[in-house]
Amino acid sequence: MISRANITDWPGRPGSHCLDTRPGGPPTPAAEQRAREDVRARLRRRFPGIPSETLTTATAEAFACFADARVRHCVPVLAFKRAAEQLSRRLPTRGEADGEP
């Protein structure tokens, strides 16, 4: 079992180790932009054969689905999941890629 002391033993006060995830308020526009870039990079690693423009579009569409979300801290995770599912549906199956029906 992990004690609470192990979780909060960061330099400074709890949450100061990562400014983007501090629960003190909504993420800044810069943090939101970094989250979009991170999601795009993760998608690029997961789907290396898909063009960059397609990944950018999928990322933008996924984030747009959560534009009105009141809780912003979980949006990047949800956007990544949504974009990855969308891109997975676009990929041909193994048989289709080999020319089989």
Residue 84 has a pLDDT of 96
Residue 99 has a pLDDT of 52
Q: What is the DSSP letter of 20?
A: G
* Pair 7, 18: CB distance under 8 Å: no
Give the global pTM. 0.67
What phi, psi does 88 have (nearest 5°)? -65, -35
Q: How far apart are CA 63 and CA 83, in angstroms?
A: 9
* Pair 73, 23: CB distance under 8 Å: yes
List, run by run, the mean pLDDT of 10-residue segments along the chain (101 residues).
41 50 70 93 95 95 93 90 94 55 50
